[in-house]
Structure 1
Amino acid sequence: MTNRIKIKFGQIEFEAEGDSELIEREREQFFSLLPQAMLSVSPSITVIEQPKPSVDILLDTDTPQQSLPTGQTYESLITFLKAKNFQSDVERVLGVAYYIDQIEKSGPVTAREIETKLLEARQGKPSNTSHVINQNIKKGYLYEHSEKKEGVKSFFVLQAGIDYCESYVPTDNTSKKKDVKLRKLRVTKESSLLQFSLDELNLEKYIDVSSIENFVEQALVIMLIYTNEKNIEYFSYLDIESVMKQKFKISATNRKVRYVFDKGGTKFDKKIEKGITYHRMLSGAIREAESIVTREQNKLI
């Protein structure tokens, strides 16, 4: 589609014909040169206030005409931002620039003006507004004005930015389920030996294990009890740690239990099943455990 644009600004006229991108580039160049052109026409003017030019856009008669978007009216910036519900700082900054430039007709805009407007609208301002503006420039939504405003850089909204704001569809957050990060629950494995009650172990035949001062000896006696009373052959580290802590109320850790078997050495038979290490009491470990029981029983006589 071929478009034509004609701009009249006092004695200065601008006219271009072509596609929308070409017209946009020509329009930007015209506005950048406009202050100098006005000085040459009216050299006596020292302060130039640039009113909004009247723009006549003419479409070729051989192409279907398209009506310009009429837009929606907003009572304030607050209602505008609420209606649009922009989701990112880049979108919000562009939206405020659009509101100042296109709705309030107060463009071009500065970073300071955008921040002030956001605060007035009770919106949080970006941590680095200039960076967000540069992101909009890279997207082709904003363009740096050739003239500074109040001594700082100023920007105006390009047609792509205008189209983006006017066609922006608000996101309905209420219809979306929030992503919930599920914390992985630590599965605590329990030893199968915990199923046996203390009454089933016939502890009266032995001694009070908690009265033994040495941790290694405590573990040996407990293994002897389960071997004799429940015919348990192989014990895992978890088995010993679990029954010592939960059944006999003895402070035990995996590290302490490992030391028992490391110290015992050849007194235990060792096997590994599905990545789990098991130990079985051999005759040397059984004799040592029995001697500990006998020793402690003799103390009570």
Structure 2
Amino acid sequence: MEKHENVTSFSSKDISEFCRQAKQPSPSNISLCFTSNVKKGLLMGVSDKKDGMLAYEITRSGNAFIESYKGAEKNAPSRKAASKKIKESPELEVLKISVDDLNLSKYIDIHSLDRTEDQALLILKIYSTEGGSSSLSPEEIVAILKNKFNIPANEVKFRTALSRSKPKVDTEKVGGKLKYKLMKPGEKYLTELADKIAP
């Protein structure tokens, strides 16, 4: 938008409109994306609102990130190959739940967590309370992080972290797959973690 449309600041409405013009799906929770990228230093708020909405602009760090992303994209597999791969994998049921239905304001901002175990426990808590999923597999947790929160995740790392998380979690077999569910020690740990993070 900044380079092609000469737009220096933008709001949620601008992003939705630009996605529509580009014939691309709009993010499910644009406000959450803004908040996350402000915390990462990639965006910053501007004093003037646009159409009564909060507006943002890209920081120097944000521009540097975009340029590095472009470089990585050149070395990535072709879109056609990636599209084919996606079509071959059926969508997981947990991905059908909208981020807007998860009441994320009640929980720690997952983008503020660096530890694999902490991210996994928080996803288990959110999806057991808000998403109706009493247990999740490492594959499902990784898919949620990637598709719903735009967080890079490695299934092997999450599988290892969860296997070492007892008694915070317990396991059960569902449809032949090993899944993890959050237990009382895990609930207590997340409450203490939230207290530490809270300003």
Q: Which TM-score band (shorter chain)? A: 0.5 to 0.7
Q: 1:192 aligns with which of 93, 99, 102?
A: 93
1:214 CA displacement: 1.4
Decide whether aligned partners of structure 1 residues 273 and 223 sit closer, same or farther in structure 2, where only a CA change above 3 A counts.
Answer: closer
Q: 1:273 aligns with which of 161, 174, 178?
A: 174
Decide whether aligned partners of structure 1 residues 185 and 211 sit closer, same or farther in structure 2, where only a CA change above 3 A counts.
Answer: closer
Q: Aligned letter for 2:156?
A: R
Summarize the alignment of residues 136-285 of structure 1 with structure 2, pairs less than 5 Å apart.
Answer: 187-285=88-186
Aligned with 1:226: secondary structure?
helix
CA contact (8 A) 2:102 2:126 kept: yes
Bigger radius of gyration among the two: 1
CA contact (8 A) 1:221 1:293 kept: no
Matches of 1:185 and 1:217, distance apart in 2 = 28
1:185 CA displacement: 9.5
Q: Aligned letter for 1:196?
A: I
CA contact (8 A) 2:117 2:165 kept: no
Matches of 1:261 and 1:217, distance apart in 2 = 10
Summarize the alignment of residues 49-68 of structure 1 with structure 2, pairs less than 5 Å apart.
Answer: none
Aligned with 2:167: secondary structure?
helix
Decide whether aligned partners of structure 1 residues 264 and 185 sit closer, same or farther in structure 2, where only a CA change above 3 A counts.
Answer: closer
Aligned with 1:234: secondary structure?
coil
CA contact (8 A) 1:236 1:279 kept: yes
Decide whether aligned partners of structure 1 residues 189 and 259 sit closer, same or farther in structure 2, where only a CA change above 3 A counts.
Answer: farther
Q: Aligned letter for 1:285?
A: G
Query: Structure 2 length as normaliser, TM-score?
Result: 0.52
CA contact (8 A) 1:235 1:278 kept: yes
Matches of 2:184 and 2:135, distance apart in 1 = 14
- Relative to its length, the structure with more helix (as a share) is 2
Matches of 2:134 and 2:99, distance apart in 1 = 18
Query: Structure 1 length as normaliser, TM-score?
Result: 0.35
Matched, 1:293 2:194: yes
Aligned with 1:232: secondary structure?
coil
1:294 CA displacement: 2.5
CA contact (8 A) 1:190 1:242 kept: no
Aligned with 1:225: secondary structure?
helix
Decide whether aligned partners of structure 1 residues 210 and 274 sit closer, same or farther in structure 2, where only a CA change above 3 A counts.
Answer: same
Matches of 2:195 and 2:86, distance apart in 1 = 45
- Structure 1 stretches (4+) deviating beyond 4 angstroms? none
Q: Aligned letter for 1:279?
A: Y
Q: Aligned letter for 2:169?
A: F
Alignment: residue pair count: 116
